[in-house]
Structure 1
Amino acid sequence: MIETIVFDIGETITRDDRYWASWADWLNVPRHTLSALVGAVVAQGHDNAEALRLARPGIDVAAEYDARDAAGRGEHLDESDLYEDVRPALPSLREAGVRVIIAGNQTPRAAELLRDLDLPADLIVTSGEWGVAKPQPEFFRRVLEEAQAAPSATVYVGDHPANDIFPAKAAGLRTAHIRRGPWGHLWADAPEVVAAADWRIDSLTQLTTLIAD
């Protein structure tokens, strides 16, 4: 029986469109150029921050984050950044008695913005608040502490095989890989993802049926 479902954030709960568009504008490169670079580093299996380094060699990403904030062009999230299935899926899971957690690799500011959206979740937390990020095992130990359920009764839902599916599986959790965003689409049918994911989904609303079955 599934007792807790934990959701990744970027390209699972929220679109990354605004995130990359804002970076392209800040670095003064065409949005399409940065989008293409993101696709290239994804295909090569690199961290997405590598796209920023390709767009501006030698960039100090952390320093640029601070500079954007100081210029009033820092992180922003609103209702338009949510995928359309988030609002229907989360309350239906809670009504089914499932504990709902949102936990991903994001900044403390992103956590504040998400909580301001009043999402139907029991907990919203980010790696920036925990001080540990995926795919580190400690992140998933923290997930299990908050899940209040056995690993076999906890599902981690995400788009990124290396950050979400593989380490969650290694921690003993059940996993659902969502075909969403560049990582989700590119690696959806990879044999290693098919083998590691307990479920492969195209929409979060499918989870209600899956846990019922």
Structure 2
Amino acid sequence: MIRAVIFDVGETLTRDDRYWAAWADWLDTPRHTVSALVGAVVARGQDNAAALDLIRPGIDVAAEYAARETAGRGEQLEEVDLYDDVRPALTALRQLGVRVVIAGNQTARAGELLRALDLPADVVATSGEWGVAKPSEEFFQRAVDAGRAAPGETLYVGDHPANDTLPAAAAGLCTAHLRRGPWGLLWAEDPNVVATATWRIDSLAELAALVRP
């Protein structure tokens, strides 16, 4: 029985369109170029942030984040950035008595912006706030603690196999691989993903039926 569901953020709950567009504008690079480079690093199995290093080799991402904030061009996260199935899916899970946790690899500022959206979730936290990031085992332990359920009664939902479903499964959690976003679509049929994921879904709207007692 699933008692807690933990959600990744980027391309699980939120669209990354404006996120990458903002980086393109900040680095004075055409948005199409940035999108293409993100696709290239995804195909290589690299983290998305590797695209920034291709544009500006040796870039200090943390320093650039700080510079963007100082310039008034920092992170933004608004209702328009949420996928349409997010609020209904999270609401349905809470109505079932499932504890809902949002925990992804984002900055502390992103955590503030997520909480400002007042999503139907019991806990909203980010790697920047916890000081530990996916795919580390410690991150998933923190997430399980936030869910207040045993690992086998906890479901982690995400699009990124290397950061989400594979390490979550290794930590003893149930997993749902979401087929959306570059990672979710490109790696959907990877044998490790197919063999490891408890469920493979196309929409968060499927979750309530899957975890219903």
TM above 0.5: yes
CA distance in 2, matches of 1:142, 1:106: 15
Q: Deviations over 1:104-130 (max 9, x none)?
A: 000111011010011000000000000
Deviations 1:78-117 (A, max 9, x none): 0000000001111110001100000000011101101001
Residue pairs, 1:127-138, within 5 angstroms: 127-138=127-138
* Deviation, structure 1 residue 181: 0.5
Instruction: Give the alignment of 1:13-24 within 5 angstroms.
Output: 13-24=13-24
Inter-partner Cα distance in structure 2 for 1:94 and 1:58: 44
Partner in structure 1 of residue 103 of structure 2: 103
Q: Give every structure 1 segment of 4 or more consecutive aligned residues whose post-TM-superposition deviation is greater than 3 Å.
A: none
Q: What TM-score, normalized by structure 2, do the two folds share?
A: 0.98
Q: What is the Cα deviation at residue 58 of structure 1?
A: 2.6
Cα RMSD after superposing both structures: 0.8
Superposed, which structure 2 residues align to 1:81-96 within 5 Å?
81-96=81-96
1:63-212 equivalences in 2 (<5 Å): 63-212=63-212
Cα offsets for 1:6-32 (capped at 9, x unmatched): 000000011111110000000011001
TM-fit CA distance, 1:212: 2.2
Q: How many Å separate the matches in 1 of 2:159 and 2:44?
A: 16
Shift of 1:163: 0.3
Q: Which moved more, 1:129-138 or 1:57-66?
A: 57-66
The 3-state SS of whatever aligns with 1:103 is strand
Gaps of 5+ in 2: none
Alpha-carbon offset, residue 161 of structure 1: 0.2
Instruction: Give the percent of matched residue pairs that are identical in Structure 1 and Structure 2.
Output: 70
Specify the code of the residue in structure 1 equivalent to 2:23: W
* Unaligned 5+ runs, structure 1: none
Provide the TM-score with structure 1 as the length reference: 0.98
Residues of 1 paired with 2:28 and 2:192: CA distance?
Answer: 38
Amino acid aligned to 2:102:
I
Which whole-Å CA distance do the structure 2 matches of 1:140 and 1:173 have between them? 9
C-alpha separation in 1, matches of 2:169 and 2:117: 30
Aligned positions of 1:6-17 closer than 5 A: 6-17=6-17
Aligned-partner Cα distance in 1 for 2:212–2:109: 35
Mapped to 1, the partners of 2:52 and 2:77 lie a distance apart of 20
In 2, Cα distance between equivalents of 1:177 and 1:158: 6
- In 2, distance between residues paired with 1:124 and 1:44? 31
**Number of residues paired by the alignment?**
213
Deviation at 1:145, TM superposition (A): 1.0
CA distance in 2, matches of 1:57, 1:162: 24
Which AA in structure 2 matches 1:103?
A
